[in-house]
Amino acid sequence: MKDPISLTTDFVELYQEIRTCEACFLHKTRKNAVPGEGPQDAQVMFIGEAPGLNEDREGRPFVGRAGSFLEELIVAAGLKRSEVYICNVLKCRPPDNRDPLPVEINSCSDFVGRQIQLIDPFVIVTLGRHSMRRFFPDATISRIHGQPKTVEGRLIVPMYHPAAALHRGNLKATILDDFAKLPGFIDRVRSLRQGEEVLENSKTNPVLKPRQLDLFEE
Ligand code: SF4
């Protein structure tokens, strides 16, 4: 399968490893593994749960109804799909779209970690509880959705999965509200990063004081 965006060797190798991975049982039932897509210099990364029927067929993340809704949400947040990176915690479809098993998430975990490392995004939006648990293992999505936290120097924003809003109509307003806050979060992180750059460039100028870098911490 051809990747639409030109990739560095690191990414080509990573995608190749994912597509030939047999580390868990899901390799037996997949049509296509779904590594992820988007530019390698994306500032914002979305991590969902697992490929569904359409994604498995096409080898691309978020191409079904949930994908269309995610795209709407991305646009409403002032972004374009083509400028963000999108992937899932699992790269292969669980049969009948069942929930990912812990053993599968563990087997696939290194791939997501490498994607985060290579892209180095400012902001990661987790979509759904399985993705959220990578960063907040003891949290529940109903309590922390839409509330960002800084984890290892990155802003992590837990959100409901777009498919949840399609299945449970009462969640649609909640997910729309959460996404409406995203541009503000991104702007704050961008200005903090710019502050860090100014600080880095001004190390020879002691007049400039360090910026407050933990505005998202409680
Ligand atoms: S889900 Fe992940 S660990 Fe399992 S076979 Fe696919 S790529 Fe490998």
CATH number of residue 118's parent domain: 3.40.470.10
How far, in Å, is the centroid of ligand 1 from the Cα of 203? Answer: 45
The predicted-structure confidence for 155-212, as pLDDT tens digits, reads as follows 999 999 999 988 888 899 999 999 999 999 999 898 887 777 666 666 655 444 434 4
- Whole-model pTM: value is 0.89
Does some domain include residue 42? yes
| Contact assessment for residue 122 and residue 154, using Cβ atoms and an 8 Å cutoff | yes
Neighbouring C-beta atoms of residue 120, cutoff 10 Å:
13
Is 80 a member of any domain? yes
pLDDT tens figures, 13-49: 999 999 999 999 999 999 999 999 999 999 999 999 9
Place of tokens 């580390």: 23
Distance in Å, CA 40 to ligand 1 centroid: 22
Number of domains in the chain: 1
Q: Is the CB of residue 27 below 6 angstroms from any atom belonging to ligand 1?
A: yes
How many angstroms from the chain centroid is the CA of residue 88?
Answer: 7
Give the structural domain span for 99. Answer: 9-181
Decide if 127 contacts 44 (C-beta within 8 A): no
Q: Is residue 38 part of a domain?
A: yes
Structural domain includes residue 215? no
23 within ligand 1 shell (Cβ under 6 A): yes
Query: Which of 18, 24, 93 for a ligand 1 pocket mutation test, highest count of atoms within 8 Å of Cβ?
Result: 24
